[in-house]
Structure 1
């Protein structure tokens, strides 16, 4: 019973805030998703990443190990996902990138924070940065047939990661007034991302739902299993172990739909994958957290 209550305390705020966004749109209220997303990804999330890295008490070596483990995890998921999609005769441009890269921002960061506290947040932002780098290069190449290194280098959260790692390495700190300001701005990120996730899911029109159902179930189980195996391979324990498994197992991000729409893949099928995998995570991620916490 205590375990169930603990898991509910972790996941309830996350899914309630996402549900708020969902109901807000269904009630017919206005929500300018482009503006809010730009505010979150350009200002709030970079501040959250920078301050989390700057103030972390984790040593740089452990974060490097987590980054290497995450890279191996994504590589393994990519290889297994490629094999699965080929066997199932599904379009690689449509499904492979969404299968590999999960929602490490909107869902992964809040869940890591509530499950593992501040140390979990600090490690989760490392996984978010890694996922963003891979998504803007390999992910776009898988969908469009070409990478976008230039776009990646224009992303504020990439530079926030680089600066945060530099400050951590050198032991630097910003002046207290600036740190407090960045902290305050960063606190916007999590509620904004969760409400926006609910809004985005509410506005999507799912397609190929049957395919999305079985593929979402396979993704959740396979990604969690890969995360578990890679964490053992790298000797990760405690928070690092939990964050790696959790972040790799997150559902398909809404950005996968946006990329499919932009590069003329089957965006309707990707929308179905986003919606179904997100709904699957409502049950799947609490069960996974029950094993991790």
Structure 2
């Protein structure tokens, strides 16, 4: 449990991080804190209650919801949530296997029960990701609202846009930079790899035919036993070497120091002097990392949003209101 001093320190750092994020995300007035204070005062409470209930029933869902937010927010418009349809024959969700769609439908239904047709799926996902951090990480922050939902979803938008597990540090910096995120944001958000699940197929390139020399030898042996060569790669693994795979924490940065992380895109953060220093700082101060993570989540939540009269507010997250 945090001491009173660390709690005050965390609050101050969160305020500083979020103040910086506000300049990035809401200076143009496109997103606003307490956006639904008049139109749906209980919106965020409904999201929080539904999210807490879902994660209480299945602790793995915290990481799943945060990951879904990340994948949507390289363009935060709920396009990742659209199902296949005549007007969206190749939606984004076909490009990569993700969990959490049923959870989002449940959370959206809880909000619709309070305020029908008012709160966008994009905002529901952003609030749910924030609340997943609260449940799984033990800290929280404010998330602005005002996003609208996309009418289209195209899986081709995923390819070449999202960072991949085999990227090197400069590729990651460029990928995040193209979306207005800094190297500090990159390293802070990578801490989400402290919890959640992945598949052997994303890890076996570091294990076969020879072990990646940056991978801890003992950990590599464990991974080889879990992911035999030519096993098909579909087996689910817990992210990295952690005490509890359902807890979001700065343990990830300590794992980087010992070579006990799953992806090339993780370990490469120690290969550059600038990002390596950020890794050390985040490993040394969980409070500082929380503040940076919160600020980066808010910034990410402002990427390429639809606002005003753009898009629509979907009644259900898997389909446009026209149903086409």
| TM-score normalised to structure 1 length | 0.32
Rg larger in structure: 2
More helix by share: 1
> TM-score normalized by structure 2?
0.30
